[in-house]
Chains A and B, each alone.
Chain A
Amino acid sequence: MSTPILEARGLTRVFRVGGFLNRHDLHAVDDASFAIGGSEILALVGESGSGKSTIARLLAQVYTPSAGEILFEGTPLTKLRSRADQMRYRAAVPMVFQDPFSSLNQSYPVSHGIERGLKLHRSDLDAEGRRSEAERVMEAVGMRPASEALRKYPYELSGGQRQRVGFAQALAYKPKVILADEPVSMLDISVRIGLLNLMAKLRDEDHVSLLYITHDIASARYIADRMMVMYAGHVVESGPVDEVLQSPQHPYTQLLVAAVPDPRAMPTMTAEQAAGEPPKVIDPKPGCRFADRCPLAKEVCRTTTPPLLELQPRHEVACHVAADRVGRGAESEELGRAADLVGSAA
């Protein structure tokens, strides 16, 4: 496989919480490893507090990792020291935010935000070039006629149109990967699909990759190529989207899939399954974080963190029981124990 555009290795972010006397560590993201290749949409799903947005912010360099590293086209981000390198990274990996009502500047027309970004990141362009580039990206996100759309103020646009402007801004930098943090969850159902189709078009026609963060599994299935499921800061399963949804291996993914409301099929989740809440990951001990809610949990699940293992080609699962099912239980326990030792030493 060629070098991925973005790669995370053992990415960890710990927040200090509490006061002077009762200081604790909150593990928002713990030992996450994944890669985003060219022209692909990776969906990152999980409930609120599972660490999805922290991953986006780590990739956008809003937070610095507590441990682990992020590689951009094979180069660790820590090596990108010069301002030019930093700018190049930020242009290549822009972010689109959840709330289109607060992420645009209300005081300026739409063109302002796009052209400001162009001035900063594409200094080769003159005023004329910026104008035509702005029109190009507006057309690319389906806002036509572009010249007229650029003159509009955010209050003149609907939620769906504003979010398209958000994508246009990101697109103006000629990005490699767009980090989209719940880009459609604030929009009405009827316009959501249009945005999802736009994201698929950006991948297929403009060859941009996307990290699509969402809690809406059905929309993830609709556009994503691969899917990564997080639970309490851990990546618990990742693989091709249809494979993960059709044969989920991790008990949490199974619960998640069963809970999705689908008017075309009866729900399969029962009240017993749904009981329990995700744990707060404060000063965590080794072990599977889903163990307390898991119907299949064994003794080892409570003592040893299950490592993410490729149980089927390209389909990774972090679960001792699932590993055992394909005859790799011992390996899972051994690797987990070794990783826990390293973790506790650090």
Chain B
Amino acid sequence: MTGTSTDVRTTTTERAGADEPGRDAPVLEVRGLKVVYDTASGPVTAVDGVDLTVNPGEFVAVVGESGCGKSTMLFGVAQLLSPPARIAGGEVVFRGQSLVAMNDKQLAPIRWKNLSVVMQSAMNALNPVKRIGDQYADTMRAHGVKEKAEITKRSEEVLALVGIDRIHLRSYPHQLSGGMRQRAMIAMALLFAPELIIMDEPTSALDVVAQRSLMLQIKELQRLLGFAVLFVTHDMSLVSHFSDRLLVMYAGQEVEFGATRTVFDRPAHPYSKGLLEAFPSIRGPKVPLVGIPGAPPALNAMPPGCRYEPRCPFAYEDCKTVVPALYQVGGSRARCLLHSPDHQPPAGQPVVAVVTDEEVL
């Protein structure tokens, strides 16, 4: 394994030196990305003005509940949206090029070579009637690698990187376990040593042990090959020790973005705080937890002020009417009026509402 990995590392560094506009320029820059779904009753905004940067070799995690727009955002970044979803505004700049303005023909050489995607369910993302090796070969041929020996060599290399024996190039997806399929997908994403790999909940179908092992492996590959990762998950605890920065999304918006450790230790937004407090721990004293009462708002019926206000234990009068901007809090930014100088809660103290454990209809 060590022999092959050194080869790959050299290719990456060569490329990084030759192609990139600047050594420290972000590999991905998303500015004000807005994605809408066209429905019979008019457009519905699923992603509302997300700003995000990913630096070379960085691991950025995006967390949020189902329906918060995290996967839609990811698809928007990868230019994989199909009607009724469309990008209604904003910029996606990858290696200095704007992806939003490109058509499929212009995107094709970038896809998989520079930017690859690992989908949530490898079971559905791999072709069930084709051998793993054939699927790798397809991908490589599509990008102009015709030499059979070269295809085999590279396929074996990437499979070795994720710790799968090369005999599985002859296997069909159903012959591999869930964890192996997911690793085979990641190996496929590594065929061309891309600068950025987008991962949409790659571990959520796996067991804790397999999950942890896959995360360790992704991290190790990242150290070895130097690619950046944009990782979407609903499980905040999963990325707590793996991501460099963390973006928390709620109701289509970015509510907090900062260094992972900072967000975990001192969450600036009540929603991040609520999410963190909803995790029971397997160590330390047992404390009663409450979770977050209520449910996220429907996309077509957003609260006029802060979108989290109806569920927020810290909410006060201003939150109902004033739309919060993103405020700088230490090194992070948070979309909460508590951090705004102009809309402080009455008497200087936030009112903490009593949180009950019931569903109010």
Contact = CB atoms under 8 A, between A and B. Distances in A.
Interface of A: 47-48, 142-145, 148-149, 152, 158, 160-161, 164, 188-194, 196-198, 215, 217-219, 221-222, 245, 255-257, 259-267, 269-271, 274-275, 277
A189 B236 contact: yes
| Interface hub of B163, B212, B216, B295 (most chain A Cβ within 10 A) | B212
> Interface residues of B: mostly helix, strand, loop or mixed?
loop
B259 interface: no
Contact of B281 (A47, A193, A197, A264): A264
Nearest to A189: B278
Per DSSP, chain A at the interface is helix
B139 interface: no
A261 B235 contact: yes
Interface stretch (B21-29, B78-86, B88-96, B203-211): B203-211
B269 to A, nearest CB: 13
8 A-B pairs closest in CB distance: A193-B291, A274-B213, A47-B207, A190-B292, A222-B280, A263-B240, A142-B358, A158-B295
Given A148-B361, A190-B291, A277-B179, 4 more contacts: A47-B208, A261-B241, A267-B212, A274-B216
Contacts of B66: 188
B153 interface: no
A143 B209 contact: no
B318 interface: no
A101 to B, nearest CB: 11
Contacts of A269: 209, 212-213, 216
B207 A215 contact: yes
Contacts of B207: 47-48, 215
Interface in B168-203: 177-180
Contacts of A160: 295, 359
5 contacts: A189-B279, A191-B295, A193-B291, A197-B289, A261-B241
B237 interface: yes
A190 B361 contact: no
B282 A262 contact: yes
Contacts of A270: 216
A277 to B, nearest CB: 5
B283 interface: yes
A256 B212 CA distance: 10
Given A217-B282, A264-B281, A264-B284, A191 B292 contact: yes
B234 interface: yes
Interface string B237-275: 110110000000000000000000000100000000011
Interface string B64-84: 011000000000000000000
A259 to B, nearest CB: 4
Contacts of A264: 281, 283-284
Nearest to A201: B357
B291 A191 contact: yes
B217 A218 contact: no
Contacts of B216: 269-271, 274
B56 to A, nearest CB: 24
B352 interface: no
B208 A260 contact: yes
A194 B291 CA distance: 6
Given A164-B359, A245-B282, A188 B212 contact: no
B43 to A, nearest CB: 23
A257 B282 CA distance: 8
Contacts of B292: 190-191
Nearest to A146: B361
B290 interface: yes
Contact of A259 (B212, B276, B280, B358): B212
Contacts of A256: 208-209
A263 B209 contact: no
B295 A218 contact: no
A294 to B, nearest CB: 13
A263 B276 contact: yes
Nearest to B240: A263
Contacts of A267: 212, 241
B286 interface: yes
A277 B280 contact: no
A164 B359 CA distance: 9
B357 A194 contact: yes
Nearest to A252: B209
A263 B236 contact: yes
Contacts of B283: 262, 264-265
Contact of A193 (B178, B234, B278, B361): B278
A144 B290 CA distance: 18
A188 B292 CA distance: 10
A189 B235 CA distance: 8
Contacts of A164: 359
Interface in B310-325: none
Contact of A266 (B241, B279, B291): B241
A263 B237 contact: yes
B359 A143 contact: yes
Interface string B277-311: 01111111010111111010000000000000000
Contact of B360 (A144, A218, A257): A144
B220 interface: yes
A152 B359 CA distance: 14
A48 B211 CA distance: 12
Interface string B337-361: 0000000000000000000011111
